[in-house]
Structure 1
Amino acid sequence: MSINSRIPGLRDHTPGDRLALVAEGAGLEPGDLSALQPEAGLSLAAADHMIENVVGMIGVPVGVATNFTIDGRDRLIPMATEEPSVVAAASNAARMARVHGGFTTSYTGDVMIAQIQVLDAVDPHGTRFALLEAAPELLALANEQDPMLVSLGGGAFDISVRVLPTRAGVQVILHLHVDVRDAMGANAVNTMAEAIAPRVAELAGTRTLLRILTNKAELRLTRARAVFDAELLGGAQVVDDIVAASAFAEADPYRAATHNKGIMNGITAVVLATGNDTRAVGAACHSHAARSGRYAALSQFEKDAEGNLVGTLEVPLAVGLVGGATRAHPTAQAAVRMLGVQTARELAGVIAAVGLAQNLAACRALAAEGIQRGHMTLHARTIAASAGAEVHEVAAVAARIVADRRIRIEHAREVLAELRGEGGA
C-alpha cells in the first residue's frame, strides 16, 4: 500500500472532502475510514460494553497531520485532540524535516515488566538469591499462562530481583520481563504475575502483596531523530535560539514541564486516536523524564555542521495493535488503517516522530514569534463558534477578530452581530 502524506490545501476543503482526500492519500477506499464520521463511529450500545455505567459519549475532534515521512515511508497521521494548532503545527514541522528525509526511528523491543512485592522476608538478600535460582521454574510457570504469546515468539524471558529499603521495612521486589509482541501487554503480564506469585511466596517463605505491571516501560523505548531545515525554520538565528531554548529545558525542571507538555500534545493525540492507553503512556514518559532523579526535557535540539537543526527524542511507548480499545473501537480501527502500520514497533515510531515534530513546532514558535500568535490565530475559529457563529460564519468572524487583534469571545459576539446587521441604526 502506497501512502502520500503531501496533501496541499487540505484545510481548504470541507470535512467530508478531506476524508476522501485522506483515504486516497492513504491508498484506501473512502469506506475504510467511515468510522471517523460521528454517525458511523462508536455506538452507545458498543460503548456500554467497554466501561461501566455508560450514560453517553464525548466527542473529540480527529484531525490528520500531513507531510510526514517516517523511516522512509510516508504516513498520514490521525490525531485526536481538542487543542487548536496541534495538528497544523505537527504538519508544518514535518514539512521542514521532509526535505532532509523526514524522521528516523529505533526501538529497543516490546518488553514490559511485572512486579511482585515480597513482604516480611527474614533474610532479604538470601531471598533474592533463592528467587534468582528459581528463575527457570518461574519463567516456565509464567509462560504456561499464555501459550499463544509464546507461539508468536514472545513470553516471559528474564527475572531480576531487588532488595528495596522502604519506610515500611525492607522489601524484596521481583521483576518479570515479558516480550508482549504487538500488544500493549498489561493483561498478559498481570496474568503471569498473578500466576507465579504463590510460588514466589513459597520460595521466599513469606507472603506477597502487589503483583502488577509497572508503567515505567524502560525496556520499551522508542527514539526519533530528524533534521529540520534552517531556511524553512527562519534562518540561523532561529536555529540558535531553538538550541538555547532546548538547553533551558534540559537544565530547568520548570521549563521542562512545559517543554514536555508540548511533546505530549503530539504523542497523546495519536495514542488516543488509535485506542491506546493515554494515561499509561503519559506516566511512562514523565517517569522517564525524571530517570536521573531530576525532571528534565525528553528531547534535545542541536545544530549540525550545515547549520540545520537536529532534533532527538527518546520516550517509553507501551502501545499495541491487538486487544483493548484498539480492537473494540471502530474509530481506532479506522485510524490504524489510515496509518498503515502493521506492528507495535511501527506505531511507536510514528508516535515518537509526531511528538518530536510537535515539540519542534512549539520551540520554533517560542523562539521566533511567541507562542500566542499562531496558537490564538487558530483558536479564533473556536472563539467564533463559541460566540454563536454558524458554520458559514465562522471563517469571517475568525478573520476579523484576528485582524483586530482582539481574539476574545465578547469581541467575536460584536463582530457577529455586525455581520448579521443586528447592531441597529
Structure 2
Amino acid sequence: MMTSRIPGFYKLSPNERIDKIGESVKLTEIEKKTLTECNGLQLEQANQMVENAIGVFPIPLGAAVNFKVNGKDVIVPMATEEPSVIAAASNAAKLAYDLGGFTTSYTGSIMRGQIHIVNVAQPYQAVAKIYENKEEILHICNEQDPTLVALGGGAENLEAHVIEANGKATVVIHLLINTMDAMGANAVNTMAEAAALRIEKMTGGEAVLRILSNLADQRIVRARASFQDPFKGDRKRTNKFIQAYEMALADPYRAATHNKGIMNGITAVVLATGNDTRAIEAGAHAYAAKRGGYQSLTHWEIESNGTITGTIAVPMAVGIIGGTTQAHPIAKTAMKILQTTSAEELAGIIASVGLAQNFAAMRALVDEGIQRGHMKLHAKNMAVMVGAKGNQIEEAVRIALEKGTVRYDAMQAIVQSLKY
C-alpha cells in the first residue's frame, strides 16, 4: 500500500529518495534517469516549446511527504529554487496526517472566455439580443471542439454585461466553458474568437478582445485541515498565530507576503506538473482582492482542544492533459508520482500544499522566526557559491551558523580558512 510517511526521508541521498518513491509508484528505470540525470528536457524539445530557444534552465525538483488528501496518501513533486519550502510543507503535513489530513472540494472546471464589444449604439438592447441568441452562440462555440463536447465538456452558458470603460459603454460577454481535465486556454480562446464574429453582426459593434479570463472564479478549489497544536498548549503563541492571520485580513502589505508564502507551495507543484504558473498566480491574487481589498487566501480558527484548523479557497485552472503536462518528460514523471486521475484531484492536492505552506510559515514567524530554518539552507547555497566542495560545505554551514554571520564576505572567509 502506498504511503507518504517515509521516516528520515530528508536524510536519504537523492538516489535513495528516488528509489523509495519508485517503489511506491512503480517508476521505470527510464523515468528515474529522467529525474536523476537532469536530461529530461532536450534542447530539440525546448525549441518546439518556445521561440528562439538557446538552452534549458533547470530548477531543483523535490518531493514533499506526509500528505494525505481526501484519505489518499500522496507524495508531492515540487519544483522550486527557494530553500525551506519543501521541508516546511512536509512538516506541516505531518501535523495534519494523524488528524485526517486534508479534505478538499471543487466547484468544477468552468473557465470564462471574454469577448469585449465596443462601438455599440444601443448596448442594453445588444445584451438582450445576446441572451435571445444564446443557444446559437453556444453552438458556434461547441463546433470548434467536438472532442471536448464528446467528453462532456464545452460551452455551457454565457453572461452579458455592460461595463463603463473611459466613459464609454462596452458590452462584455462571458462564455462559460467546461474544460474538463484540461487547463483549457486554447479551447476557450478558439471558441471566443469564433463566437465574436457572430456577436459583432448581432450587435453592430466591434470585438476588441477575445480571450479567456485567468480569474477562474467558477473553478474554485477548497481545502481544509486540522493541525496538531505546535505550541504545546502555549496560548500566548497560539494567539500570536491567529493575530498574524488577522493582520493578513486587515493589512494588504502583510497579506501580500502572507499569500506569497502560500504561493511558494502552490506554484512549486504547478510548475512541477507542467501547468501554467502565471495563470494560477494571477487568478489567486485577483481572487484575494475580490472583496475590494487585498486579503489572505486562507482562514484560521482555534478549536477548544488547541487544534488549529485552516481553510483555503483559490482558483485552480490546472489540467492533467494538454500543454506541457504530457510534452515535458519531467512533468510527465511528476504526474506519475502524484498518481492523479483528474484535474479535480490535482487541484485539491495543490491547494492542500498551499494550506500546509501557510501554516508552516505562520508557525515559524510567531515562534522562532522565519530565518532560523531558512538560513541554514541559505547558508548551504552560499557556501557552494563561494567555492566550498564536498565536506567543506557542511562544515562551513556549521561555522557560519555558530557565528550567526550568514553573509557573503563572512562565508567566503570561512571557506577560504577550510581550504588552507
TM-score range, shorter chain: over 0.9
Deviates more, 1:30-39 or 1:373-382: 30-39
CA contact (8 A) 2:231 2:237 kept: no
Q: Which residue of 1 aligns with 2:409?
A: 410
CA gap of 1:200–1:233, structure 2 versus 1, over 3 A, is farther
1:90-111 Cα offsets, whole Å, 9 max, x none, are 0000011112011111000000
Q: Secondary structure of the equivalent of 2:17?
A: helix
Distance 1:99 1:179 in 2: 36
Q: Which residue of 1 aligns with 2:276?
A: 277
Q: Which residue of 2 aligns with 1:107?
A: 106
Q: Which residue of 2 aligns with 1:150?
A: 149
CA contact (8 A) 1:127 1:204 kept: yes
1:203-230 Cα offsets, whole Å, 9 max, x none, are 1122211100000100000001110101
Q: Secondary structure of the equivalent of 2:49?
A: coil
Distance 2:368 2:29 in 1: 39
Q: Does 1:70 align with 2:72?
A: no
Matched residue count:
420
Structure 2 counterpart of 1:321, which letter?
Answer: I
Q: Which residue of 2 aligns with 1:378?
A: 377
CA contact (8 A) 1:34 1:334 kept: no
CA gap of 1:363–1:231, structure 2 versus 1, over 3 A, is closer
Q: How does 1:53-68 map to 2 (within 5 A)?
A: 53-68=52-67
Distance 1:351 1:89 in 2: 15
What is the deviation of 1:410? 2.1
Q: Secondary structure of the equivalent of 2:215?
A: coil
What is the deviation of 1:292? 0.6
What is the deviation of 1:295? 0.5
Q: Which residue of 2 aligns with 1:225?
A: 224
CA gap of 1:173–1:262, structure 2 versus 1, over 3 A, is same
What is the deviation of 1:378? 2.0
What is the deviation of 1:404? 1.8
CA contact (8 A) 1:156 1:177 kept: yes
CA gap of 1:245–1:232, structure 2 versus 1, over 3 A, is closer
What is the deviation of 1:59? 1.2
Structure 1 counterpart of 2:31, which letter?
Answer: D
What is the deviation of 1:168? 5.1
Q: Which residue of 2 aligns with 1:341?
A: 340
Structure 2 counterpart of 1:346, which letter?
Answer: E
Distance 1:240 1:252 in 2: 18
Distance 1:183 1:197 in 2: 23
Q: Which residue of 2 aligns with 1:159?
A: 158
1:354-408 Cα offsets, whole Å, 9 max, x none, are 0011111110001111111111122111111112111332122112211221112
What is the deviation of 1:413? 2.3
What is the deviation of 1:38? 4.0
Q: Which residue of 1 aligns with 2:130?
A: 131
Distance 1:150 1:112 in 2: 14
Q: How does 1:160-309 map to 2 (within 5 A)?
A: 160-167=159-166, 169-231=168-230, 235-309=234-308
Distance 1:233 1:118 in 2: 59
Q: Which residue of 2 aligns with 1:82?
A: 81
1:115-140 Cα offsets, whole Å, 9 max, x none, are 01111111111110100110011111
Distance 1:30 1:342 in 2: 23
Distance 1:394 1:96 in 2: 31
CA gap of 1:144–1:233, structure 2 versus 1, over 3 A, is farther
Distance 1:301 1:391 in 2: 43
Q: Secondary structure of the equivalent of 2:391?
A: coil
What is the deviation of 1:26? 3.4
Distance 1:236 1:28 in 2: 46
CA contact (8 A) 1:66 1:75 kept: yes
1:177-224 Cα offsets, whole Å, 9 max, x none, are 000000001000101111111110111122211100000100000001
CA contact (8 A) 2:233 2:306 kept: no
Q: Secondary structure of the equivalent of 1:230?
A: coil
Normalised TM-score (structure 1): 0.96
Q: Which residue of 2 aligns with 1:22?
A: 21
What is the deviation of 1:27? 4.4
CA contact (8 A) 1:5 1:25 kept: no
Consecutive unaligned residues in structure 1, runs of 5 or more: none
What is the deviation of 1:234? 7.0
Distance 2:20 2:400 in 1: 30
RMSD over aligned Cα atoms: 1.4
Q: Secondary structure of the equivalent of 2:44?
A: helix
What is the deviation of 1:231? 4.5
Consecutive unaligned residues in structure 2, runs of 5 or more: none
What is the deviation of 1:276? 0.5
Distance 2:334 2:146 in 1: 30
What is the deviation of 1:166? 1.1
Q: Secondary structure of the equivalent of 1:149?
A: helix
Q: Secondary structure of the equivalent of 2:296?
A: coil
Distance 1:130 1:370 in 2: 59
Q: Which residue of 1 aligns with 2:392?
A: 393
